Amino acid sequence: MTVEAPAKLNLSLRVIRRRDDGFHEIDSVMVTLPGLHDRITITGADEDRFECDEPGVPTDGSNLAMKALAVFREETGEMDPLAVKLEKRIPHGAGLGGGSSDAAAMLRALDTHFGTKLGVDALVELAARIGSDIPFFLGPPVGRVLGRGEILEPGPELPELQVVLLKPSFGVSTPDAYRRWKDAPAVADVDFAPQVLDWGELVNDLERPVFGKHLFLAEMREWLRARPEVAGALMSGSGSTVFAVLEDPGKAGEVISAAKEELDPTLWAWSGKTGSGVFQAPEGMPE
C-alpha cells in the first residue's frame, strides 16, 4: 500500500492569541502542493520496521507517522506488524508540513490496508490527537484552518497558483517562532503589511519573530518581491521556506537561477502549482 503525502503552503497565517493550554489560536488559509510530496509504503511483515531514505529523520516513536500508527492501533486494535518505508521529498524544518502530511497519509494508508473504513470524520479526530496541522491533509486541497490547527472551514475559492519555493540550508524551530511571536520587534526596512492579490492576501504573523532571528529569510523575501516576475512573496508557516507567487508561470526557472546566483548557490528550490478549488467539509467533520 503506497500513498503520497503532499506539502502545504500557508497563504495567510494570523496568530490570534496564546491559549491557556499552551497552544496558539490561529487563522490560516492553507493549500496543498500536489507535485511536491513524500511517499509512504506499508506492507505486512514479521515484525515492525520503519525506514526512511533521508538521514536525520527520526525512525522511532517520535516520528509523526509512527505516532499515527500508534494512535490507529489504539483506536482499532489492529496490531499486525508492518514494514513502513518513508521516502522524503519535502524538506525538514521548512514550514511545508512534511511531518504532518506524513502522519495523515499514514492514517489513510492504514485505514485502507486493514479495511477498517473509519471514514473521514473519524480519521480527522485521530489526526487531531497527533498534531495541530494534520487534519488539514485529510481534506480537499484548499481550506481555512482555525483553533490550534485542528478546525477546518471553507476557504476561499482559489485558482491554481504557479509558485517558486526557496529554502536555505537551515531550518526554523516552530516552538521558538511561536514563543517569540507576541513581543518580536519590527525588522528594519521589511514591510509586514498584507500583500493584496486578485484572489486574496498574503500575510504571515510569524515572519516578524522569525525574520528577527534569521535575517537572511527577510532578505530573500524582499529580493523576491522586487522581481518583476513575482506577484507576491511570503514565508510559509514558521519557515524556513519562502515562496513567490508568479505573474508569469514561464519565469520560474529564471527566478530560481537568479536566486542561486545572487542569494545563495546552495538554496533548495522547487517550482510547481498549488491545489485549487474550494473546501467542502465532509459530513461529520468537526467545526
- pLDDT score recorded for residue 51: 94
**Higher per-residue pLDDT: 153 or 147:** 147
Q: 257 Cβ partners below 8 Å, 6+ apart?
A: none
- pLDDT score recorded for residue 9: 97
Q: Please give the Cα distance from 55 to 65 (Å, whole number).
A: 16
Q: Is the pLDDT of residue 28 over 50?
A: yes
Q: Please give the Cα distance from 29 to 151 (Å, whole number).
A: 12
- pLDDT score recorded for residue 188: 87
Q: 163 Cβ partners below 8 Å, 6+ apart?
A: 9, 33, 243, 244, 245, 246, 271, 272, 273, 274
Number of other residues whose CB lies within 10 A of the CB of residue 33: 25
Cell readout for 135 is 487534519
- pLDDT score recorded for residue 284: 36
Q: Is the pLDDT of residue 281 over 60?
A: no
Q: Is the pLDDT of residue 287 over 60?
A: no
- How much is the average pLDDT of 232-250? 96
Q: Is the pLDDT of residue 286 over 70?
A: no
In this structure, are residues 269 and 259 in contact, taking their beta carbons and an 8 Å threshold? yes
Q: pTM of the full predicted structure? A: 0.92
Confidence of residue 280 (pLDDT cuts 50, 70, 90): very low
- How much is the average pLDDT of 222-237? 97
- How much is the average pLDDT of 145-164? 89
Catalytic residue status for 8: yes
CA-only gyration radius of the chain, Å: 19
Q: Is the pLDDT of residue 228 over 60?
A: yes
Q: Is the pLDDT of residue 277 over 60?
A: no
Q: Is the pLDDT of residue 171 over 50?
A: yes
- How much is the average pLDDT of 179-207? 92
- pLDDT score recorded for residue 23: 85
- pLDDT score recorded for residue 184: 87
- pLDDT score recorded for residue 138: 93
φ/ψ of 209, rounded to 5, equals: -65, -35
Altogether, the residues listed in the chain come to a count of 287
Give the model confidence (pLDDT) of 40-85 as tens digits: 999 999 999 999 999 888 888 899 999 999 999 999 999 999 999 9
Q: Please give the Cα distance from 276 to 258 (Å, whole number).
A: 28
| Of 102, 111, 133, 205, catalytic | 133
Beta-strand (E) ranges in 53-136? 82-87
Q: Please give the Cα distance from 255 to 234 (Å, whole number).
A: 15
Catalytic residue status for 20: no
Secondary structure class of 217 (helix, strand, coil): helix
